[in-house]
């Protein structure tokens, strides 16, 4: 668990992208997630907004004193997203709903859900202790998850799977020219090897066609030797000429 949190901490503010994947449509907008992560990390109050029934609702999200690391902010929001879904909220959570699951308070739902885990009808209400509030009181993330019937292990497993997929995808991404970075790297390595081969040939007195020139020289030597052998066979030796 500690290693997992440290790996997320090392990503800094970029962890917002991974949080957005976990939270999905509950976020309403990227700004909502950025503001909540900023509030949990800095411990300051921010304003978050959401569209509900065609109207935009805004409210202050006061995370005073939280000061979570980026890894812990990720876990808090991932657990909060699970809790919202279990309560029947499936899209665009309101500022009050985020406040309830993270910092504690009543959670009002205005949607109807028929999921296997829970059923929430319009106007239903439930009071939450607040995930971040429980953590500030000394409870660990595993204890918080167990108390609220949440799946922390699933959060960690899904996050590791996403990280693995991202680590493999950059080599397949296309550059502006439409060539993958893997192909570009292969081409660069091949060009460098060709250049090293040419430099080696020049150092040994060869042109880039050195191999062909060597072959021509070998053929010339063989032809010369053949002519020499023929001359020796047809020309009388000195002793024979004297006797005649």
Residue 116 sits in the same domain as residue 189? no
Domain boundary among 168, 191, 222: 168
Residue 21 sits in the same domain as residue 67? yes
Name the domain count of the chain. Answer: 2
Assigned domain for 64 exists: yes
Total number of residues shown for the chain? 244
What is the mean predicted confidence (pLDDT) over 57-61?
89
Query: Which pLDDT does position 123 carry in this prediction?
Result: 56
Residue 101 sits in the same domain as residue 65? yes
Residue 90 sits in the same domain as residue 37? yes
Assigned domain for 243 exists: no
Query: Which pLDDT does position 161 carry in this prediction?
Result: 80
Backbone angles phi, psi at 44, to 5 degrees: -105, 170
Query: Which pLDDT does position 198 carry in this prediction?
Result: 57
Residue 127 sits in the same domain as residue 52? yes
Assigned domain for 202 exists: yes
Query: Which pLDDT does position 233 carry in this prediction?
Result: 46
Residue 62 sits in the same domain as residue 110? yes
Which residue, among 107, 59, 61, 67, has the nearest Cα to 84 in the 3D structure? 107
User: Which DSSP category does 177 fall into?
Assistant: T
Assigned domain for 176 exists: no
Burial code of 151-169, b = ≥16 C-beta within 10 A, e = fewer?
A: ebeebbeebeeeeeeeeee
Residue 105 sits in the same domain as residue 58? yes
In which domain, by residue range, is 101 found?
A: 2-168
Locate 108 and state its tokens: 């009002």
Residue 61 sits in the same domain as residue 154? yes
Instruction: Write the pLDDT tens digit of every residue in 11-58.
Output: 888 889 889 999 999 988 889 999 999 999 999 899 998 876 778 888
Q: What is the CA radius of gyration of the chain?
A: 37
Domain boundary among 121, 137, 168: 168
Assigned domain for 239 exists: no
Residue 64 sits in the same domain as residue 156? yes
Residue 199 sits in the same domain as residue 151? no
End-to-end Cα, the chain, rounded Å: 109
What is the mean predicted confidence (pLDDT) over 218-222?
56
Q: Could you tell me what percent of the chain has a pLDDT over 90?
A: 36
Q: Does the pLDDT value for residue 4 go beyond 90?
A: no
Domain boundary among 143, 168, 193: 168
Assigned domain for 107 exists: yes
Rounded Cα gap, residues 219 and 198, in angstroms: 24
Assigned domain for 36 exists: yes
Residue 200 sits in the same domain as residue 98? no
Cβ–Cβ < 8 Å for 126, 101 = no
This prediction's pTM: 0.62
Q: Does the pLDDT value for residue 181 go beyond 80?
A: no
Q: Does the pLDDT value for residue 244 go beyond 70?
A: no
Assigned domain for 240 exists: no
């Amino acid at each position: 668990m500690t290693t997992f949190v440290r790996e997320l901490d090392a990503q800094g503010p970029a962890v917002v992208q991974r949080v957005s994947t976990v939270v999905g449509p509950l976020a309403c907008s990227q700004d909502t997630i950025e503001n909540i992560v900023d509030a949990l990390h800095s411990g300051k109050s921010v304003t978050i907004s959401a569209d509900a029934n065609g109207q935009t609702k805004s409210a202050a999200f006061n995370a005073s004193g939280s000061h979570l690391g980026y890894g812990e902010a990720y876990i808090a929001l991932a657990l909060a997203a699970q809790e919202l879904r279990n309560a029947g909220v499936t899209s665009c959570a309101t500022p009050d709903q985020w406040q309830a699951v993270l910092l504690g308070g009543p959670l009002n739902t205005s949607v109807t859900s028929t999921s296997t885990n829970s059923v929430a009808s319009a106007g239903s209400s439930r009071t939450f202790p607040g995930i971040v509030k429980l953590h500030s009181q000394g409870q660990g993330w595993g204890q918080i998850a167990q108390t609220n019937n949440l799946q922390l292990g699933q959060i960690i497993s899904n996050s590791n799977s996403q990280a693995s997929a991202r680590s493999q995808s950059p080599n397949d991404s296309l550059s502006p020219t439409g060539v993958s970075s893997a192909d570009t790297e292969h081409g660069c390595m091949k060009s460098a090897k060709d250049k090293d081969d040419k430099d080696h040939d020049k150092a040994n007195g060869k042109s880039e066609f050195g191999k062909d020139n060597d072959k021509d020289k070998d053929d010339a030597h063989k032809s010369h030797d053949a002519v020499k052998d023929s001359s020796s066979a047809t020309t009388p030796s000195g002793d024979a000429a004297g006797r005649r």
